[in-house]
Structure 1
Amino acid sequence: MSNVLSGLGFIAVTAFVVILGDYVLKLAADRGLATLSTMVALGVGLYAVSALLWFGAMRHLTLGQAGVAYSMLTLVALALIGALAFGERLGLRELAGLGCALTAMALMVRVG
């Protein structure tokens, strides 16, 4: 149980770091910044940090469990950030996809 919770903790932190990197890269893209700009470098650096966190998560979870948990967390968070910060639309299809992601996580992540 503790191993799974540790792994999910690593996944949550990894997802947060990647989401922050995605947010920075989206801002850079919307501003038309060059690929070698400071904001793009920051986004890439955040991705590098997330790779180290991902390694920690895989010490505690199966690859399938880690992948589903990470995917679900990033999918939900990025959909909400897209809607709230960038005015992107969440339609019925997107909401159904989010529901499927939550269901997949419940089925894949075994506790105990």
Structure 2
Amino acid sequence: MTTTVILLMIVAATAAGDYLIKAASLNTQGIASAKFMAGAALYALPAIGWFSLMKNHTLATVGIIYSCSNVLILFALGCFVFKEAVSARELTGIGLAVAAILVLHKT
């Protein structure tokens, strides 16, 4: 599997876990809900992908790209799914996350 595919799978699992945990936080059952349990389980899956990526890449590069990808996906989830307001500070952070990915991108 390519680095990009593994990284996308890690980000997707983490984002799905984040979505489920956010949805559980809005539920009266909280951490006893099935959504919370499923979200917590999804958090464990990325460890396998991390193991694979760390064999061939520096932790700094993979970590920055992973973190920035999560920022972008969570920003989209917050805005479009949970209808959360976005501040100028958060938009600045998104811009800096994109800049970090561009700086670390190898051509």
- TM-score w.r.t. length of structure 2: 0.89
Q: What residue identity is the alignment partner of 1:84?
A: F
Deviation for aligned residue 1:9 = 2.2
Structure 1 SS opposite 2:45: helix
Deviation for aligned residue 1:59 = 2.3
Deviation for aligned residue 1:7 = 2.0
Deviation for aligned residue 1:93 = 1.5
Unaligned runs of 5+ in 2: none
Is the 8 Å Cα contact of residues 8 and 69 (structure 1) preserved in structure 2?
Answer: no
Distance in 2 (alpha carbons) for counterparts of 1:32 and 1:43: 16
Asked if 1:83 is matched to 2:86, the reply is no
Judged with a 3 Å threshold, the aligned counterparts in structure 2 of structure 1 residues 6 and 94 are, in CA distance, closer, same or farther, namely same
**Correspondent of 2:98 among 98, 102, 109:** 102
1:60-105 deviations in whole A, cap 9, x for unaligned? Answer: 3210111111011100010111011111112222111111001111
CA RMSD of aligned residues (A): 1.6
**Correspondent of 1:16 among 12, 28, 33:** 12
Deviation for aligned residue 1:16 = 0.6
Distance in 2 (alpha carbons) for counterparts of 1:25 and 1:93: 24
Aligned residues: 107
Q: What residue identity is the alignment partner of 1:95?
A: L
Percent identical among aligned pairs is 28
Structure 2 SS opposite 1:31: coil
Deviation for aligned residue 1:109 = 3.2
* Residue number in structure 1 paired with 2:52: 56
Distance in 2 (alpha carbons) for counterparts of 1:60 and 1:106: 20
Distance in 2 (alpha carbons) for counterparts of 1:65 and 1:32: 39
Deviation for aligned residue 1:6 = 2.1
Q: Which has the higher contact order (CA 8 A, sep 6+)?
A: 1
Unaligned runs of 5+ in 1: none
- TM-score w.r.t. length of structure 1: 0.86
Deviation for aligned residue 1:50 = 1.4
